[in-house]
Amino acid sequence: MSWDQIVPLIFMGLLGFALFVYVVLDGFDLGVGILMSRANTEERNTMVASIGPFWDANETWLVLGIGLLLVAFPKANSIILGNLYLPVAFMLIALILRGVAFDFRVKARAQHQLMWNYLFIFGSTLASLTQGWMLGRYVTGFAEGTQYTLFAFAIALAVTSTYTLLGACWLLIKTEGELQIKAVQWAKIAWWPVVFGMILISLSTPWVSPVVRDRWFALPQFIGLLPIPLATAASLIALRWFLGSTRVRGHLCWLPFCLLIGALIMGALGLAYSLYPYAIIGQMTVWQAASSTEALNVLLIGAAITIPAILCYTAFAFWVFRGKVRDLTYG
């Protein structure tokens, strides 16, 4: 391949990386927001404290991903956002509402704090559903029809369930005592719809997308791709097994979170294989959607500076605020 062909693939890889990191990082704090519906007032304060140092910075990865889409793939951007303008609008409303509720619940009087808690829960749930819906519409190439709508709806529920499981696994790491016990139970409950959703999506994606069907079910590719679903299944089964162990509340509290990330990595690899070489499946390739090579060369310099910087301050924040969460206090 020439450099003109390689550099669009580099930016597609960077875009996929940014969105995957967003799913993991903002996924767990959206999941914690959803789980607040099952907690009491004291537990909600602890849950907010567990994500407080991270949640705002986690959304940086979404901004980065959208920025890469805008500047590196402008032709695809016009089609993608043109088809998704309504769910994007709802997602932004949800994220804004969530941010406002996060701050206002701090100073609200007791009789008003419940309202802000519910708005935070609503914003977290709506953001999760809209992101899943957008993924479902994108995977089908924005095709119209009842089966495609049902598929997008199933993806929306699966993504929301995955975020909920991520949130529960995060609480295993950050909390102790009664709340940690509840987190184990929440994770066990969320595990089932996540597994069911992944199975359903794996079976239905080839049905709604002939491109994906042709790529996955032709020989010998099918045999070579078997490690992806097998590794995903192994990660999820191991996660559920550890949730039944008392060690998950001790020194192995981090393991379910890591196992779930492993399953998500396998899912991301499978999605990347299904999409390649398309920016919009069945419609536009990466090279057709990309900006000029000259523009991408300049953008690559900026990306080489920006992305390591974001990685460094993200890692630094997680290092500084490692360990169990402390009681939530405000000055």
Q: Which of 144-153, 204-213, 293-302 has the lowest mean pLDDT?
A: 204-213
pLDDT (mean) for 225-250: 91
The vertex-19 CA angle with 277 and 297, nearest 5°, equals 60
What average pLDDT does the chain have? 89
Please report, as a single letter, which amino acid is at residue 197.
Answer: G
Phi then psi for 281, rounded to 5 degrees? -60, 125
Please answer whether residues 264 and 23 qualify as being in contact, where contact means their C-beta atoms are separated by less than 8 angstroms. Answer: yes
Q: What is the pLDDT of residue 8?
A: 93
Task: Check whether 4 has a pLDDT greater than 80.
Answer: yes
pLDDT tens, position by position, 61-112? 999 999 999 999 999 988 998 899 999 999 999 999 998 888 887 776 766 7
What tokens were used for 153?
Answer: 């709806």
Q: What is the pLDDT of residue 327?
A: 63
Instruction: Say what percent of the chain tops pLDDT 90.
Output: 57
What pLDDT band is residue 331 in, cutting at 50, 70 and 90?
very low
The neighbour count for residue 182, using CB atoms within 10 Å, is: 18
For tokens 């959208």, what's the residue? 66
- Tell me, letter by letter, the H, E, C secondary structure of 104-154: HHHHCCHHHHHHHHHHHHHHHHHHHHHHHHHHHHHHCCCCCCHHHHHHHHH
CA 310 to each of CA 15, 47, 62, 252, 296: distance values in angstroms, whole numbers, following the listed order:
14, 25, 12, 28, 20
Q: Which of 85-89, 162-166, 274-278 has the lowest mean pLDDT?
A: 274-278
Task: Check whether 263 has a pLDDT greater than 60.
Answer: yes
Quickly list DSSP for 22-74.
Answer: HHHHHHHHHHHHHHGGGS-HHHHHHHHHHHTTTHHHHTHHHHHHHHHHHHH-H
Q: What is the pLDDT of residue 212?
A: 77
Residue among 140, 134, 186 nearest 158 (CA):
134
For tokens 């016990």, what's the residue? 181
Residue among 27, 61, 97, 36 nearest 328 (CA):
36
Sign of the alpha-carbon torsion through 313, 319, 324, 325: negative
pLDDT tens, position by position, 122-143? 999 999 999 999 999 998 889 8
pLDDT (mean) for 294-320: 92
| Residue spans per domain, the chain | 14-201+285-320
What tokens were used for 238?
Answer: 């191991």
Q: pLDDT higher for 163 or 112?
A: 163
What pLDDT band is residue 304 in, cutting at 50, 70 and 90?
very high
Please answer whether residues 98 and 69 qualify as being in contact, where contact means their C-beta atoms are separated by less than 8 angstroms. Answer: no
State how far the Cα of 3 lies from the Cα of 73, in Å rounded to an integer. 17
